[in-house]
Amino acid sequence: MYPQGALEGLAIAVALGGWQIHPSLLTIIPQRQLWHNGILLLSTSLVIIFAVGSSRREALLARARSDFIAGVSHDLRMPLAQILLASETMVMRRDVAETERLGLANTILREARRLIALLENVLLFSRSGAVELAARLEPLSVGDLFTDAIEAVVLAVEDARQSIDARAPASLAVLGDRQLVRQALVNLIDNALKYGKPAQRIQLVAEATSPTTVRLYVDDQGPGIPPSERERVFEPYERLGKDQTSERTGSGLGLAVTRQIVRACGGRVWLEESQGGGTRAIIELSAASIPATVGRAEETV
């Protein structure tokens, strides 16, 4: 030490004698023991990292399951409540006018179809998680596919005060599974209904993009999806952040099931921005050939 001021120039030396140090600190640690301690420390660190990662995955899985149950419960509760209300009205008011009775019957039919679509999504997702989703591929008229999908959602479209129209050349056909592709289209239309603006017109369009491929488009006039979110929404249970607390939110399986269906049919699906600023969902499948008389060209609701 070298003091300053009045004590400047005074040197102070501090030292320890060997007798003041504990003998264990003077012992040289063998190199083998150092390696053993290092390996033990590394192993302990890896176990801690794996444990933290596993705990985090379990927490995320538990949260995803909770969100899924909440979404499915919401989707089940709404149509069941509508069916119950319409049924009670028909039972309690036996003198209801024929027009009103028809409206109540349509409500029951519409909500029953919603329940069936929801259950089909859950079953398809569960089945594809256990075994590979098997598709029975056959040539399908695009016009017929559009007609089948519209028939499944027509009451929901009318109830939402929206409209839907389809345009497809009568000779256009794809290779796919009729029931699965229909479900994929219904899922995309259902998303368009949920997130589109009031009085919007949903467009179903098809075109041959090459001699071997056909694209099916579902366009809405909603707010659209940011480019950074378009891939993420195809993951199971995923929804946009703004929809987490929305009354429109569902199980988060619609797009995930749609992708599994399209892949099982040998195609692909993705999202883009539509010409009107909304969302365009695109399904690309292999082209097929069927007699032109089989297809139904156009339909508007």
Q: Is the confidence at residue 3, as pLDDT, over 50?
A: yes
**CATH code (residue 104):** 1.10.287.130
Greater pLDDT, 259 or 130: 259
Mean local confidence (pLDDT), 264-288: 92
Cα gap 158→29, rounded to integer Å: 83
Q: Return the minimum-mean-pLDDT range out of 66-70, 167-171, 252-256.
A: 66-70
Task: Examine the domain organization and report whether 84 and 209 are in the same domain.
Answer: no
Q: Give me 22's structure tokens.
A: 């504990």
Task: Examine the domain organization and report whether 147 and 248 are in the same domain.
Answer: yes
279-286 and 268-273: which strand pairing? antiparallel
Strands (E), 168-275: 173-176, 201-210, 213-219, 268-273
- In sequence order, what are the residues at sequence separation of 6 or more whose Cβ sits closer than 8 angstroms to the Cβ of residue 180? 124, 133, 135, 261, 264, 265
**CATH code (residue 243):** 3.30.565.10
Task: Examine the domain organization and report whether 262 and 213 are in the same domain.
Answer: yes
pLDDT in tens, 167-199: 998 889 999 999 899 999 999 998 898 888 888
Which range of residues forms the domain containing residue 125? 53-130
Q: Model pTM greater than 0.75? A: no
pLDDT in tens, 16-52: 665 666 666 556 666 677 677 778 888 888 888 888 7
pLDDT at residue 294, rounded to an integer: 46
Greater pLDDT, 300 or 223: 223
Is 148 inside any structural domain? yes
Q: Across the strands, what pairs with 173?
A: 141
The last residue of one of the domains, among 71, 95, 130, is 130
Mean local confidence (pLDDT), 130-159: 85
Task: Examine the domain organization and report whether 165 and 284 are in the same domain.
Answer: yes
Is 26 inside any structural domain? no
Residue 68: name the closest of 130, 122, 124 by CA: 122
Task: Examine the domain organization and report whether 71 and 185 are in the same domain.
Answer: no
* Count: domains in the chain: 2
Greater pLDDT, 62 or 173: 173
Task: Examine the domain organization and report whether 102 and 204 are in the same domain.
Answer: no
Rg (CA), the chain: 32
Task: Examine the domain organization and report whether 162 and 118 are in the same domain.
Answer: no
